[in-house]
A and B are shown apart, each in its own frame.
Chain A
Amino acid sequence: MKYLFIVLVLFQNYFAQSLSISLFFDKSTYLEYELCQAVIELRNISLHDVRITQPFATEAYGSGIVVELTDLNNKKIPPHNMEYADIVLTKPIILKPGNSLFTSLPFSAKFGRKRPDGPVTFTESRYPEPGKYKIHVTYTYTENDTRTTIDSKIVELEIIEPTQEDLGVYRELKNAKLNSLSVTNEQKIVNLLQFIKKYPSHIYTLGAYNEVLILAIVFPELHVNTDELCLQMYNNFPTSIMALFAVNPILKNDSKLMESVMSKLSKQGNEKKEMFKRYNEFLDNLKSLY
């Protein structure tokens, strides 16, 4: 029997699925028009290196990732399919045991529908109808000449209708970030910062933070203090994965803050905390991976 046990351990490891895929959302209920950005993690759960030959990005053709959203009657909600990148890996990624790759899933942008109530501006203006949904993600990869498809757990989501008061706030946000050709970036940032000041922790304010951060990265000449902004965002939205990832670069040089963040994460569950640790490892390895 001793041999059987050894063989069992050795061969379970050899034949077991090498990769796992997971989908992380901040919460299970979202307000319509709220910025909703999930995270997808591909993890090497084997004891050997795995060669990733397909890009791991949700918006890339041929990436092997398929995200499927269904309503409770299992009716598929097709994605927008309007943003894609043609990506190739010029060399395979060697993923070490326990290491992960991450990509973001812009849920609201991907699955939203153009609403009849006025001009579409950007991401969160498009949103699935209020209701209950199920979402999961699959990834297909080839290892040892064998194609394998792995599936994440199904995540249940509910989109709820905003109140009139919420809609009033949303309209203010839309006016602040209007994509008008006559509105300069400086003006847009001023508008958005005013909105953030007025509604520091309103559910729609996360979208305003996102917009300012994008402008700040794209236009460094605008001299926005992104560190301060990220900290403020994280403090007002401590359960948001997007805010957590945004504040992450600051944590590297601030051990006290890191401690506080980890403590907050512990309260949100071990799964999220462990994912965040792996995300940090991923960032450390990113340059060598790609």
Chain B
Amino acid sequence: MYRVYFYFIQNFSIQKGMDGLHRILVFLFFLSLGLINFGCTDSSQLQNPNSDGVEAYKLDAVGENKLLTEYPTYILTPREVRNIYVHGNNKDWEDVWTDITNDFSESFTNGIGKGSDQYAAEDGNFTTYITIAAPADPKDYTLTFHAGTNRVSSSLPCSTTIRVVATRQFDIRYCYMTGYDILNDANNVISYNASNTMVNGFEDAKTSINIQTGINGIDKASTTLMDPLHTNLKPEDLLYSWAISTIPKSGNSAARNHSTWLFSLYSNNFTMGTIYGLSPGVTITLDNGQDIEIGISTVYVDKCLTAAANVLDATQQKQFVSLMLLHELGHARSTYLGADYRYPNNLTDAPHTGGHKGNGSKSCCVRYMPLNTSTPEFGDFKSGLKNIHFCNGHLQMLFNCNFIEE
């Protein structure tokens, strides 16, 4: 690029028959323009360091001789088995292990850099995991980790809280417009196995789904709610206002704290899906005076289908609707993670680009959907439609979401 630029400058001044001084001036002028142009722009590219399959789970680099867990608190259900990812930095360490205590009668252990699903760099930085099993009683436990060689600890011990909770349940109140019932679309008319996609996605996240009917038979007239022509009023505010007023008519008995109201709607305006809530903010007062927080997720079926029409075949377009469903529910599930995890994760901080780690990271359903064949990520996006999933990094986040209706 630079070479072409210099060649152009040189030829420009020669062709114009300029004398030496003018040629130097022209050269300097173009040079400064070139430096401004090349220097002031951010030409960084999107990076996808991981790939599907057995690509390593990689956490941030840490200082020498340090050992850290990914999260300060891990949420597990009774006797649940879960990987705890730890990262550290020392070239000589071979293993990580946990202490034996009254609560944990065995020491969980793993080698460093031993498997292709682990990350180990030349500079000593590594990420590995230890598979632990939770105790049976729901309460908080402390688990301490060590790293070293021949089980001799040479790291400062690192402790984390293991919070055992009775259940990890996602409460969904399902609302749909007439003709847009994607969860009961048995013949795959407007979506493709949407219900299975939702159930399987959250099964991977070890999350049970408690789904109840919220509002059905929504009138198509509501589609104007997301019209971008309302530039003065936020479309999400309009939808919220509509939902909050409609719930008492149709779904009052189903309104519960921390439930997510999932709307499957028509709309071919601007937006494929939205998340509104969960916490703090979307608060409504029940008839008994209780203030509850709810989330509102929407899937705009027609917009998904038309947005994908030019780049995907008919089946893939319907799979894309199902992907959008899991994507929005992923956002909704992670917006409230309890007092310890208000906004800890990339599902909320950098929801499309961040947090992708380990297996399935390139085609994770949380990624931004590149509906353009010339986008480098398009191939991964398209192949992900066959097996719509959360990547390992986002599954770890979702394991830590345990809020249930109260």
Contacts and interface: CB of A to CB of B under 8 A. Distances in A.
Interface of A: 1, 3-4, 7-8, 11, 15, 55, 59-62, 78, 80-88, 90, 102-104, 106, 109, 114, 119-123, 126, 140, 146-149, 178-182, 184-185, 210, 213-215, 217-219, 242, 245-246, 283, 286-287, 290
Interface string B353-380: 0000000000000001101000000000
Contact of B280 (A78, A126, A213, A217): A126
A129 to B, nearest CB: 15
A245 B231 contact: yes
Contacts of A15: 33, 36-37
Given A61-B368, A81-B343, A290 B270 contact: yes
Secondary structure of the A contact surface, majority rule = mixed
Nearest to B306: A90
B371 A90 contact: yes
Given A81-B349, A86-B274, A106-B234, A119 B283 contact: yes
Contacts of A146: 37, 41, 43
Nearest to B331: A84
B6 interface: no
Given A217-B238, A218-B245, A86 B306 contact: no
Nearest to A149: B42
B29 A90 contact: no
Categorize the interface residue count of chain B.
35 or more
B44 A147 contact: yes
Interface of B: 12, 16, 18, 22, 25-26, 29-30, 33, 36-37, 40-44, 225, 228-238, 240-242, 244-245, 247-248, 252, 255, 270-281, 283-287, 291, 306-307, 310, 324, 327-328, 331, 335, 343, 348-349, 351-352, 368-369, 371
A62 B280 contact: no
B351 A217 contact: no
A88 B268 CA distance: 12
B369 A88 contact: yes
30 contacts: A1-B22, A3-B26, A4-B22, A7-B12, A7-B29, A11-B29, A78-B343, A82-B275, A82-B280, A82-B335, A83-B234, A85-B273, A88-B371, A104-B234, A120-B280, A120-B283, A140-B42, A147-B43, A148-B40, A148-B42, A181-B248, A181-B255, A181-B284, A182-B248, A217-B230, A218-B225, A218-B238, A246-B232, A283-B229, A286-B228
A170 B59 CA distance: 47
Contacts of B29: 4, 7-8, 11
B295 to A, nearest CB: 9
Contacts of B244: 179
Contacts of A215: 241, 245
Contacts of B233: 210, 213-214, 217
Contact of B351 (A61, A102, A218): A61
Across the A-B interface, give the 7 residue pairs with the lowest CB-CB distance, nearest first: A114-B280, A180-B285, A181-B248, A245-B232, A119-B291, A86-B273, A85-B271
A119 B242 contact: no
B342 to A, nearest CB: 10
B183 to A, nearest CB: 19
B231 A102 contact: yes
Given A4-B22, A86-B272, A126 B281 contact: yes
B231 A61 contact: no
A104 B232 contact: yes
Given A81-B348, A149-B42, A286-B229, A7 B26 contact: yes
B349 to A, nearest CB: 7
A121 B271 CA distance: 25
B276 A82 contact: yes
Nearest to A221: B221
